[in-house]
Amino acid sequence: MGYMTVREVARDIIKNQVRTNGDAVPWNNTVRYSNLMLLRSIVDFEEFIHMDKPCFFDRGIIDTLGYARLIGIPITSGMVDAANKYRYNIKVFVFPFWKEIYVNDSERKQNIDEAERTFWALKKEYEKFGYNTVDVPFLTPQKRAEWVLERL
């Protein structure tokens, strides 16, 4: 629809780790995986901060903290500092867990219960850092995009 979008860093990390036989994946070395997520999210933020029109991030720095809390790994001061320093738009569109369309694939191995808990953990983390979360309704991808654009 003509807007800049930034891919989810987690999927790229997993693909690269699998390709290179690395262990920084959610089913192995979760600390290294979360560190890579944070670093890549910061790089993406820095790369796209100059945009003078809306730029949509599929995940962000706060997601790393929510993920860490969800799986019980320590939240470092570096994570908190990054979350406070690199601020996105105050309005964050979140996509509630949708059981009927959830599928696993080569990068997404969470069971359905963990996937739903992930949504709630991330939403809570964004709100904890002062973001206003807006739940996007269950619609077709096209209608969801239109719904979001009407609320920018």
Q: Are 107 and 14 in contact (CB under 8 A)?
A: yes
pTM, full prediction: 0.90
Find all residues with CB under 8 Å of 53, minimum gap 6, and list them: 3, 4
- Compute CA distances 47 → 15, 51, 56, 96, 105, whole Å: 21, 9, 13, 28, 29
Question: What are the pLDDT tens digits along the chain (152 aa)?
Answer: 999 999 999 999 999 999 999 999 999 999 999 999 999 999 999 999 898 889 999 999 999 999 999 999 999 999 999 999 999 999 999 999 888 888 877 777 778 898 899 999 999 999 999 999 999 999 999 999 999 999 99
Q: Are 99 and 133 in contact (CB under 8 A)?
A: no
